[in-house]
């Protein structure tokens, strides 16, 4: 198969000696139910002979590496545009460290087979820091946007999305912002508070927009996440906070996150680092009393408040109107949003 350009393999096990691995490959996607027959050292050796690769996806585990084998030199994949590694954390560390890919290549990883009690957590955090610092050094690409997301589409519990180009609020809300680097951590052994613990360790001085999505099952978790936006230690330069949740809250009761949002934003203002824009999106359940209080508080803080694309102006009889939609003459007005009250 010397002219094979694309291989998309779904199998139980496979050997890196299989003839499907050809130097002519442009796209290689491997989805294993069990594991590869050889260690990641064998994978690196084979990949070293595929300089034309533009897409590389590896989903599967590796047997333990042979520590007696000589270390593989860096594998250069000069044309790669997409790298996805869903492996054990030690294999991800090795593969990611030794694969030399273009700075503009989009990368993602899903790491699940570690315990928060071992040294893996420290190794993973150090590897993320090194990766982001290397990007900045090689291409002057800094993290401009950060998203902390509960993953609903993979076997990871939580994900960090790093956006290198300056994102827009609209892009985040509409799901148009694609992370340059995404890492998923989980398998029900990484608590979401551990994910928060990563934030102070990362090079995030250039982040101006923070997106929190579906990140709590209770008040304590949300309180910890909102602590990430409080100076002076981390995320000092963010000007916009987006908060989105699809968790159903009781619309007849005051929302549990209202006080935490107000406290976090007030604290930033008091320390001289005020937020300029707060965006609430999707199925957030706020009663009219909550919205009115938040609007008044944000006005005092000089912070623009937006909810599902509507600039909040006032609440009347359970309906929300923007400034442009209020008719002071009393004529009929278009509804901008209807509150669940």
Task: Write out the two tokens for 270.
Answer: 């008091």
Q: Which of 322, 279, 324, 277 lies closest to 303, judged by CA?
A: 277
Check if the beta carbon of residue 253 is closer than 8 Å to that of residue 287: yes
Separation of first and last alpha carbons in the chain: 65
Other CB atoms closer than 10 Å to residue 185's CB: what's the count?
27
* CA atoms of 276 and 8, how far apart (whole Å): 46
What are the pLDDT digits (tens) for 240-279? 988 876 555 555 666 666 777 788 888 888 888 888 888 8
| pLDDT recorded at residue 102 | 93
| pLDDT recorded at residue 46 | 94
Residue ranges of the chain whose pLDDT lies below 50: 68, 115, 117, 188-193, 218, 313-341
| pLDDT recorded at residue 315 | 38
14 forms beta bridges with 36
| pLDDT recorded at residue 310 | 67
Check if the beta carbon of residue 228 is closer than 8 Å to that of residue 268: no
Chain Cα centroid distance, residue 290 = 28
- 3-state SS of the chain is CCCCCEEEEEEEEECCCCCCCCCCCCEEEEEEEEEECCCHHHHHHHHCCCCCCCEEEEEEECCCCCCCCCCCCCEECCCCCEEEEEECHHHHHHHHHHEECCCCCEEEEEECCCCCCCCHHHHHHHHHHHHHHHHHHHHCCCCCEEEEEECCCCCEEEEEEEECCCCCHHHHHHCCCCCCEEEEEECCCCCHHHHHHHHHHCCCCCCCEEEEECCCCCHHHHHHHHHHHCCCCCCCCCCEEEEECCCCCCCCCCCCCHHHHHHHHHHHHHCCCCCCEEEEECCCCCCHHHHHHHHHHHHHHCCEEEECCEECCEEECCEEECHHHCCCCCCCCCCCEECCC
Q: What is the dihedral of CA 293, 297, 303, 309, to 10 degrees?
A: 0
What are the pLDDT digits (tens) for 58-99? 998 888 765 545 555 789 999 999 999 998 888 888 898 899
Burial of 171 (0-12, 13-18, 19+ CB in 10 A): middle
241: phi then psi, degrees, rounded to nearest 5: -120, 125
């Amino acid at each position: 198969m010397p002219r094979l350009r694309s291989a998309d393999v779904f199998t139980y096990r496979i050997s890196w000696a299989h003839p499907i691995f050809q130097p002519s490959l442009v796209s290689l996607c491997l989805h294993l139910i069990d594991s590869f027959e050889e260690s990641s050292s064998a994978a690196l050796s084979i990949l070293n002979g595929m300089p034309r690769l533009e897409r590389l996806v590896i989903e599967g585990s590796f047997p333990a590496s042979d520590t007696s084998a000589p270390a593989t030199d860096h594998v250069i994949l000069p044309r790669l545009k997409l790298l996805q590694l869903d492996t054990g954390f030690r294999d991800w560390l090795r593969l990611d460290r030794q694969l030399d890919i273009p700075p503009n290549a989009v990368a993602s990883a899903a790491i699940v087979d570690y315990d928060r009690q071992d040294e893996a957590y420290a190794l993973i955090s150090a590897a993320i820091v090194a990766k982001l610092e290397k990007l900045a050094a090689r291409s002057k690409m800094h993290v401009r946007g950060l998203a902390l997301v509960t993953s609903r589409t993979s076997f990871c519990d939580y994900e960090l999305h790093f956006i290198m180009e300056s994102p827009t609020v609209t892009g985040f809300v509409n799901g148009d912002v694609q992370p340059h680097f995404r890492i998923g951590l989980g398998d029900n052994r990484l608590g979401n508070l551990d994910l928060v613990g990563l934030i102070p360790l990362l090079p995030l001085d250039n982040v101006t927009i923070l997106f929190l999505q579906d990140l709590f099952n209770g008040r304590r978790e949300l309180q910890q996440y909102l602590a990430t936006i409080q100076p002076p230690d981390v995320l000092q330069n963010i000007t916009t906070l987006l908060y989105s949740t699809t968790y159903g809250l009781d619309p007849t009761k005051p929302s549990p996150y209202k006080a935490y949002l107000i406290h976090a934003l007030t604290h930033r203002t008091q320390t001289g680092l005020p937020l300029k824009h707060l965006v609430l999106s999707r199925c957030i359940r706020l009663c009219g009393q909550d919205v009115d209080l938040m609007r008044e508080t944000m006005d005092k803080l000089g912070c623009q408040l937006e909810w599902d694309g509507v600039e909040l102006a006032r609440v009347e009889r359970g309906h929300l109107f923007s400034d442009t939609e209020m008719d002071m003459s009393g004529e009929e007005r278009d509804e901008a949003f209807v509150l669940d009250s």
